[in-house]
Structure 1
Amino acid sequence: MFTNSFWALIPAIIAIALALITKEVYSSLFIGILVGGLLYTNFSFTATIQHVFVDGMIGQLSNSWNVGILIFLVVLGSMVMLMNRAGGSAAFGKWAIKHVKTKTGAQLATIALGCLIFIDDYFNCLTVGSVMRPVTDKHKISREKLAYLIDATAAPVCIIAPISSWAAAVTGFVDGANGLTLFVKAIPYNFYAILTIVMMLTITFAKVDFGPMRNAELNSFSTKKGNDSSQHASMTGAEDQPAPPVSIKGKVIHLVLPIAALIICCVIGMIYTGGFFDGTNFVDAFAGSDASVGLVYGSVAALIITIIFMLATRVLSFSECMNAIPEGFKSMVPAILILTFAWTLKSMTDSLGAATYVAGLVELIADNHTFMSLLPAIVFIIGAFLAFATGTSWGTFGILIPIVANVFSSNINNELLIISVSACMAGAVCGDHCSPISDTTIMASAGAECKHIYHVSTQLPYAFTVAVVSCISYIIAGRVRNWLICLPISVILMIATVFVIRFILGEKNK
């Protein structure tokens, strides 16, 4: 009765609506999960309990990909704690104060670092957060703004980087064509990803913020201690804990070397899983990599290197290193809990047939040749809605890209196919960017140490603004079908939109 229909999306819609209304994530997600279980079992109590906890939660936590991501999270939390205890983060903060002298400079440095770490979005969120948090705090940039900058340089950058775990995922969903070639050709049409970067740079240089983010920035600027308030002490908004001892011997190298080791080891780990050391070339190794396993290999290797380095330079004793590891685990518990609930909610919508329902809608639209020029814009909207409701961009790729490729018989010389596939990717990233149950959004909150629902509510107006401009750009692209014309128009529209918002805010303040 409730499967393969609009009802399949109801659990996610309820969870997201409750989270935005109540500002409480855990209970909202659990209620959404419970509703999904009830719909699937036609309101049978015992069957609902079985489906929610056994098929859903336990099933997701026994999934090898998910377990790999959780291990990566825990190891990364331990590494961050080691860098903090060694004084590396504090030393980098002092160094950055001397060299990054303005609030604009701090934001640009965050954006630049986020764009440089394009290998994987999870890795991006937690690394950029741990490195830039002391710098942005000193310049009184709110944790909400930091979380937005992290989130906006995670998935949007990964989805236009040919060498990334995201490129590998997308190429795997294209049958009957060279997936990597199609991915590269689609990059100039990935309006949401490109315009998100344009949006960040424009609001940074123009010094404009709007919506809840404006209030967050004003509160941060007016607080003497910057972002040290208790509501941003952790993702959960818990009260501050007593500060752990920090080594006075720490130097910038005690942050830079672990981060460098993490980047190098994770890249090696990913290409190793793709068969690089068995003779596969670098690009194909990335395309065939298992990002979850590769990140585990890389992060564990980097953790061992970090511990050896801390001991060799005598900034921490062996017992201090070992004590930092469980403390790092504790710091990641909120992210792990939200991720577990988000994955379980996704399993509820999957069991109800959300993918089948949305696939049917797309095929129905694609069969109507009257809408062919509007297909990219329609695919973008559907992709955004599906990713928003399910919290997964990769799952959205898996549903929409094969359908679009089939419509055009996987002919990579068809410009409308390229635009439509790009619209799939852009819509998926857009919905993922907006959704409070998205794993990347959760990671961004963890990286910035910002209360998750604050990050979501402040980011939504920004993401929605870019989404509207992107949708207009896809309408233009569906008719013009030339990125050399469409891309400059979309960039001009995005910049103009920000300055119109700035003008309106100025008039309102007057």
Structure 2
Amino acid sequence: MFTNSFWALLPAIIAIALALITKEVYSSLFVGILVGGLLYTNFNLTATMQHVFVDGMIGQLSDSWNVGILIFLVILGSMVMLMNRAGGSAAFGKWAVSHVKTKIGAQIATIALGCLIFIDDYFNCLTVGSVMRPLTDKHKISREKLAYLIDATAAPICIIAPISSWAAAVTGFVDGANGLTLFVRAIPYNFYAILTVVMMLTITLTKIDFGPMRKAELNAWGKGDDEKDLEKSHSSLTGAEDQPEPPVSLRGKVIHLVLPIVTLIVCCVIGMIYTGGFFEGVSFVDAFAGSDASVGLVFGSVTALIITIIFMVATRVLSFSECMNAIPEGFKSMVPAILILTFAWTLKSMTDSLGAAEYVGSLVANVADRGTFMKMIPAFVFIIGAFLAFATGTSWGTFGILIPIVAKVFGSDMNNELMIIAISACMAGAVCGDHCSPISDTTIMASAGAECKHIRHVSTQLPYAITAAIISFLSYVIAGFVQNWLICLPIGVVLMIGTIYGMKVVVSDK
């Protein structure tokens, strides 16, 4: 009765609406999960308990991919704690303040680092956050703004980087065509990702903020209506305050932050290409395309953690026992993110069991069957992809549903420019929905990386993401008829910059 219909989307809609209304993420996600279980079992209480906790939560926590991501989170939290206690983060903060003199400079440095770490979005979110927090705090940049900069350089950068875990995922969804070639050809048409970067740079360079983000930035400067918001925005993901600061070594130097981060990057790259068979003769690009990101990140992060502990002990900034004590503390710092991720994965399993993916897929197929609207397919696909990713909280799941449908509609014809645009619209829409959704794992990671209360990150980022989405939709409408990115992309960039300056006029009037 409730499967393969609009009812399948109801659990996610309820969870998202409650999270935005109540500002409570855990309870909202759980209510959505419960509704999904009730709909699936036709309101049979016993069967609902079985489906929610056994098929859903335990099933998700038994999934090898998910477990790998959780292990990576725990290890990364431990490494961040080691760098903090060794004094590396504090030393970097002092160095950065002496070299980066302006608020704009601090934001540009954050964006640059986010663009450089394009291998994986999870890795990007947590690494950029741990490195840049001391600098952005010194320049009174709100944690909400930091979370936005992290989020905007995570999935949007990964989806236009040919060598990334996202590219590897996308290339596996197209049968009968060279997935990597298709991915590269679709990059110039990925309007949401490109325009998000343009928007981020324009906002930073022109010092324009609007919506809830403007209030967060004013509060960070002590000029807002509620200066208590400054304390809240610098609290942990759960909003806990007044936590005692851990002891920090006075012997720490910048190298005690830089070396662990560089080691982590190198080890994770090696770990990912190892899982793709690079050391068995497979080419670097093919190894990345065939890598298991979850396992590769675990291999890389474990190796980096061991090297970091040896380095800290050898340089005498921390004793071995202090290193061991920092590991469970790092675990604790990641518990809120792990809890939200677990609930988000469970909610996704509820919508999957109700057939949400099949329902949305049928909508796309019905639209595609109408030849009159063929040139509008990219714009329709973008909207549907954004809605599906928003409701389910997953980009990769959206790729898996929509890309094969689009490829089937166009027959996987690599010479059909409209197919390239439509597949790019799948990817752009998925990233857009992922960017907007409070149950998205990437959004959760960005909150954790910035140590920003999750619902505050979602509410401040949403107006920015919606602005980029509207302009991207218009760009796809134009692209469907023009079918030339050299014309469409500049038009989208001009529209984006013009919109930002229009916002400046509105904000100035207020």
Bin the TM-score by the shorter chain. over 0.9
Contact 1:126 1:444 in 2 (8 A): yes
SS at match of 1:176: coil
**Distance in 1 between residues matched to 2:68 and 2:8, nearest whole Å:** 28
Contact 1:140 1:227 in 2 (8 A): no
**Could you tell me which amino acid in structure 2 is paired with residue 158 of structure 1?**
C
**Could you tell me which amino acid in structure 2 is paired with residue 92 of structure 1?**
F
Among 361, 365, 368, which residue is 2:367 paired with?
A: 365
User: Shift of the alpha carbon at 1:233?
Assistant: 2.0
**Distance in 1 between residues matched to 2:135 and 2:196, nearest whole Å:** 23
Relative distance call for 1:328 and 1:228 in structure 2 (3 A) is: farther
User: 1:101 aligns to what?
Assistant: 101
**Could you tell me which amino acid in structure 2 is paired with residue 457 of structure 1?**
S
**Distance in 1 between residues matched to 2:230 and 2:378, nearest whole Å:** 45
**Could you tell me which amino acid in structure 2 is paired with residue 203 of structure 1?**
I
Q: Does 1:213 align with 2:213?
A: yes
Among 421, 424, 427, which residue is 2:423 paired with?
A: 421
SS at match of 2:413: coil
Q: Does 1:283 align with 2:313?
A: no
User: Shift of the alpha carbon at 1:309?
Assistant: 0.4
Contact 1:142 1:227 in 2 (8 A): no
User: 1:153 aligns to what?
Assistant: 153
**Distance in 1 between residues matched to 2:231 and 2:402, nearest whole Å:** 43
* Per-residue CA distance 1:210-262 (angstroms, 9 max, x = gap): 00000000001117999972553210001221111100000000000000000
Among 391, 407, 410, which residue is 2:409 paired with?
A: 407
User: 1:346 aligns to what?
Assistant: 348
Contact 1:138 1:226 in 2 (8 A): no
**Distance in 1 between residues matched to 2:160 and 2:104, nearest whole Å:** 25
User: 2:110 aligns to what?
Assistant: 110
Between the two proteins, the alignment pairs up a number of residues equal to: 508
- The runs of at least 4 consecutive aligned structure 1 residues that moved more than 3 Å come to 223-228
Structure 2 runs not aligned, ≥5 long: none
**Could you tell me which amino acid in structure 2 is paired with residue 67 of structure 1?**
V
* Per-residue CA distance 1:349-371 (angstroms, 9 max, x = gap): 00000011011100000010111
Contact 2:219 2:229 in 1 (8 A): no
Contact 2:219 2:230 in 1 (8 A): no
**Distance in 1 between residues matched to 2:231 and 2:362, nearest whole Å:** 48
User: 1:456 aligns to what?
Assistant: 458
Contact 2:114 2:150 in 1 (8 A): yes
Contact 2:216 2:230 in 1 (8 A): no
Relative distance call for 1:226 and 1:195 in structure 2 (3 A) is: farther
**Could you tell me which amino acid in structure 2 is paired with residue 299 of structure 1?**
S
User: Shift of the alpha carbon at 1:65?
Assistant: 0.1
User: Shift of the alpha carbon at 1:505?
Assistant: 1.3
Contact 1:220 1:226 in 2 (8 A): no
User: 2:242 aligns to what?
Assistant: 240
Contact 2:399 2:427 in 1 (8 A): yes
User: 1:121 aligns to what?
Assistant: 121
TM-score for the superposition, normalised by structure 2: 0.99
User: 1:165 aligns to what?
Assistant: 165
Q: Does 1:257 align with 2:259?
A: yes
User: Shift of the alpha carbon at 1:413?
Assistant: 1.2
Q: Does 1:87 align with 2:87?
A: yes
**Distance in 2 between residues matched to 1:342 and 1:361, nearest whole Å:** 24
User: 1:397 aligns to what?
Assistant: 399
**Distance in 2 between residues matched to 1:199 and 1:341, nearest whole Å:** 31
**Distance in 1 between residues matched to 2:421 and 2:31, nearest whole Å:** 38
User: 1:380 aligns to what?
Assistant: 382
Among 289, 293, 296, which residue is 1:294 paired with?
A: 296
**Distance in 1 between residues matched to 2:45 and 2:278, nearest whole Å:** 50
* Per-residue CA distance 1:295-320 (angstroms, 9 max, x = gap): 00000000000000001100000000
User: 2:231 aligns to what?
Assistant: 229
**Could you tell me which amino acid in structure 1 is paired with residue 150 of structure 2?**
I
SS at match of 1:315: coil
Structure 1 runs not aligned, ≥5 long: none
Q: Does 1:481 align with 2:470?
A: no
Contact 1:230 1:240 in 2 (8 A): no
**Distance in 1 between residues matched to 2:398 and 2:358, nearest whole Å:** 12
User: 1:52 aligns to what?
Assistant: 52
Q: RMSD value over aligned CA atoms?
A: 1.1
State the identity %.
83
